[in-house]
Amino acid sequence: MKQKVTLGLLLMNLFIAFMGIGLVIPVLPKLMNELGITGTTVGYLTATFAIAQLIASPFSGKAVDKWGRKIMLVIGLFTFGLSEFLFGMGKVIEVLFISRLLGGISAAFIMPAVTAFIADITDTDTRPKALGYMSASISTGFIIGPGIGGFLAEFGTRVPFFFAGAFGTIAAILSIILLSEPKRLEVADAQELDQKNGMKRMLEPKYLLAFILIFIASFGLAAFESFFSLFVDHKFQFTSSDIAIVITGGAIFAAVAQVLLFGRLTRIWGEIKLIRYSLILSTLLVFLMTVVNSYFSILLVTFIIFVGFDIFRPAVTSYLSNIAGKEQGFAGGMNSMFTSLANISGPIIGGMLFDIDINYPYYFATVVLIFGIVLTFFWHKQVAGYTPKKRTVVSNEAKQIEI
């Protein structure tokens, strides 16, 4: 029972953090009018979050391994709450940039801490399912955030951020009370204990292609979602409520599909093929966004597009967890870092392209995702002989947990 409570609280923390990231999306059109900013400035505002996450991620990954999972998670949640309250109170663009800066730091602390926490309390049999739930929490939070933001924005443009700030602070307090620092994984293979510097480890073939693909998929999702509200506002005159309905529906559909399909598809195809097929699905649907012309077609494309992204994330996270051994914090930190790189470049490039033509961000994202599909074929050849090393887990928690 204790392990179930731990896993549930970890998943809730991830949901809250990534919900906060997405809250800003439906109010972007109102903020553009209120502050008189362009699509390029919106791109920089969105990218500020990712820049802070990028800078903090390598340090947070090491800190998670050195100082512990719980303390970094709690610090991240309190920082998240502060950033959301600050965004709610901000009346000038400079304050909003500071808020997004703190938000990025909080995400850099939370993500690797939770990933390592889950790896510590599961074994090789239960870990894929737990990581599937983890990815569902991330994706659902990130995708449903705009939906919740759209509904709450009807009561005031800044209300969603006060809501998220309170939610994050409560989650931090609950984490202090209910979570206990887990026992670490012990790996039998001495090669896994080799302490190389971060850059050399990052460039190892077993890591590098996975990190590049994380960047590519995250770029596609960032380009799609960051400008979705502006896209449908300019092209179809959607209101905040319309945006909320479309994205919330897509989030629910994708989360359910992920929970039902991920485990089965992983057993059938394996992680690498599953990553390839999810990228293919996402690429087709990102491109389709440029040709849809009705409310129903937008609804259909949005519902399905998140399925591809939602299945990609647990597949690549599961792969990294299997090869990371005692470097779970490193793998989680690098995962967060490459996600951040994509979340920086996606909105910035997308914002510039949006000011030229509202379809251009989606065209560019399509090209990037196609490149990712091509890479998966080379990745398959490089790791075809890879077999995950067996591990001995010291803690009995991994055997006791029932997911």
pLDDT in tens, 225-247: 777 777 887 777 777 777 777 77
CA dihedral in degrees (19, 22, 26, 30; nearest 10)? 110
Give the SS3 label for residue 1. coil
User: What's the domain range around 104?
Assistant: 2-180+201-386
Residue 317 forms part of a structural domain: yes
Residue 398 forms part of a structural domain: no
- 378 contact partners, CB below 8 Å, separation of at least 6: 209
Cα separation, 107 vs 66, whole angstroms: 18
Would you state the pLDDT for residue 58?
75
Would you state the pLDDT for residue 164?
85
Would you state the pLDDT for residue 357?
87
Would you state the pLDDT for residue 384?
37
Would you state the pLDDT for residue 394?
38
* Residue numbers of the chain with a pLDDT score lower than 50: 187-196, 381-403
Using only the alpha carbons of the chain, give its radius of gyration.
20
Residue 189 forms part of a structural domain: no
Residue 372 forms part of a structural domain: yes
| CATH number (domain holding residue 93) | 1.20.1250.20
Would you state the pLDDT for residue 325?
67
| Angle, in degrees to the nearest 10, between helices 39-67 and 205-226 | 140
Would you state the pLDDT for residue 81?
92
Secondary structure (DSSP) of 19-59: HHHHTTGGGHHHHHHHHT--HHHHHHHHHHHHHHHHHHHHH
Q: If we measure between CA atoms, which residue out of 271, 285, 276 comes closest to residue 314?
A: 271
Would you state the pLDDT for residue 128?
66
Residue 301 forms part of a structural domain: yes
Count Cβ atoms below 10 Å from residue 304 Cβ, excluding itself: 18
Residue 225 forms part of a structural domain: yes
Residue 190 forms part of a structural domain: no
Residue 186 forms part of a structural domain: no
The domain total for the chain is: 1
| Helix residue spans in 122-239 (DSSP H) | 127-152, 159-178, 198-202, 205-226, 228-236
